[in-house]
Structure 1
Amino acid sequence: MTTVSAVVVSHGHAAELEVSLAALARQVDEIVVVANIPGSVGTVPEGARVIENASPRCLAANVNAGIAATVGNHVLFSNPDTVPGEDAVARLAAFMESRPSCGIAGPQMLWPDATWQPSRRRFPTVSGTIVRRTPLRRFYPPYERQTDHYLLAERPTEPVEADWMLGAFLLQRRTMLEELGGWDAGYRHYVEDIDLCYRAMRAGWERWYVPAAVVTHAYAAVIDRRFLSRHTLWHLRGMARYARKHPEALVARR
């Protein structure tokens, strides 16, 4: 029997949770919310459990705590800023069940205005990352010029394999998570989703984009708006860790 556990990490996102948890509760078998700081959770659906952290932890550590507290054979990680459309989780789970080698399945994501969001992406390279995270992006707008990384020319209507997908809403097979040792808590914030998908690939697990599952994502994209902030520094630290762990990945494509 297929069961889906949802793990949601909130860092002061109580207002967003009111909407996202209500939508999730109708589609999953259990929900665990990790409250990373005080005031992160308000009212939760009946049956949902809340883990209150004594002190803040990184995203990956919180996700791993949620995974450990759940029992479903599939684990959905969902951001507070996502709202799944009708049957989105069921569509992801059905696809995963149809392909035993699928370790991660992600939905089609839409911006709140219902326009398409490029959530299926290629693994990053050094040159592409430099353009995206420096003032060079003013001259080479990533969502316009980095067609290969964001797969901008592709709008698949049927499931297709992916290098990686935004970690905002990912269904994961528990056996894969156990094999990989969960998410890498060495990442402060950012890049842990790329790392998870890369390690899954190296272990022989497929990652699939399932466009029939639709999720609205109010993506803040903080590091896309400012060149220097604590978030951009966290992203740089994350990319540095990714480069140390997987140096071959950054030069695989140009």
Structure 2
Amino acid sequence: MQQALDSLIDAAVNIDYELFVVDNNSKDATVEMVKEKYPEVKLIINQKNVGFSVANNQAIAQSSGEYILAINPDTITSADTLKKALEFMDITPNAGGLGVRMINAQGKYLSESKRGLPTPWVSLCKFSGLHLLFPKSKMFDKYYMGWINEYETAEIDILAGAFMLLRKQALTKTGYFDESFFMYGEDVDLSYRLKLAGYKNYYFPETYIIHFKGQSTRKFSLRYISSFYGAMFIFVKKHFLKF
């Protein structure tokens, strides 16, 4: 958390901003640490874990900025990330949201930096492993949009929840995060609703963040499987099974 806050504050030099931390009833000393070391932070303290969507919506509702950055606490933001990303949004009025190139702690590119809409076919290709056999195919690897180069700015379908720079005006049309999603899927849903509202989502690789992903839930644990596939069912039911 401290690394995330320090890097964000460093990246926000000469930028007019407000910084929110929403604590979902953490069991460590996060609240005390934030109060002591970051008095400028607007701290929202929940008495229970209300989930990703509700927590972000609490902060968005109190925000006054032209842009909203939803970012995970297990990230480190590069010094030029906010400046470059905001400049791109300013000159791209049709952009509803933007994501940047993400790397892990070892410097390896994270393919979820850019994703396609997880339709049933796209999801089948992903989970069956077909996307690994045809990593640059628009038919078989749309999940990670493998035909788009890692360093190529491009329009994409889905932004990663770890870093979502959103236009506040666009959110007034789409609404905020859907609170039906507790963990996972909320980024997919909001990205899709931005496109339905006529906006575009962009992958912007001219800067990057480090994402220490997997800190909150171990992949393939029962909790992860239940949360992930439950979220995907909510999304499919909401947008593709309207009966």
TM-score, normalization: structure 1?
0.81
Q: Name the structure 2 match of 1:61.
A: 54
Q: Name the structure 2 match of 1:34.
A: 22
Q: Name the structure 1 match of 2:145.
A: 151
| Alpha-carbon distance between aligned partners in 2 of 1:25 and 1:222, rounded to the nearest angstrom | 23
Residues 153-198 of structure 1 deviation map (CA, whole Å, 9 limit, x = unaligned): 4324342111112110111011111211111001121111000010
| Alpha-carbon distance between aligned partners in 2 of 1:142 and 1:112, rounded to the nearest angstrom | 24
Matched residue SS, 2:180: coil
| Alpha-carbon distance between aligned partners in 1 of 2:122 and 2:162, rounded to the nearest angstrom | 22
Matched residue SS, 1:240: helix
Task: Give the drift of 1:128.
Answer: 4.1
The answer to whether the 8 Å contact 2:115/2:157 transfers is yes
Match of 2:164 among 167, 170, 181: 170
Q: Percent identity?
A: 25
Q: Name the structure 2 match of 1:51.
A: 44
Structure 1 residues 171 and 217: CA distance shift in structure 2, 3 A: same
Structure 1 residues 84 and 158: CA distance shift in structure 2, 3 A: same
Aligned AA for 1:85? S
5+ long unaligned stretches in structure 1: 1-16, 250-254
5+ long unaligned stretches in structure 2: 135-139
Matched residue SS, 1:104: strand
**Number of corresponding residues:** 227
Match of 1:90 among 55, 63, 83: 83
Q: Does 1:239 align with 2:229?
A: no
Match of 1:192 among 177, 186, 199: 186
Structure 1 residues 225 and 231: CA distance shift in structure 2, 3 A: closer
Once superposed, what is the RMSD of the aligned Cα atoms?
Answer: 2.4
Which 4+ runs in 1 deviate beyond 6 A? 221-224
The answer to whether the 8 Å contact 2:11/2:78 transfers is no
TM-score, normalization: structure 2?
0.85
Q: Name the structure 2 match of 1:182.
A: 176
Matched residue SS, 2:98: strand
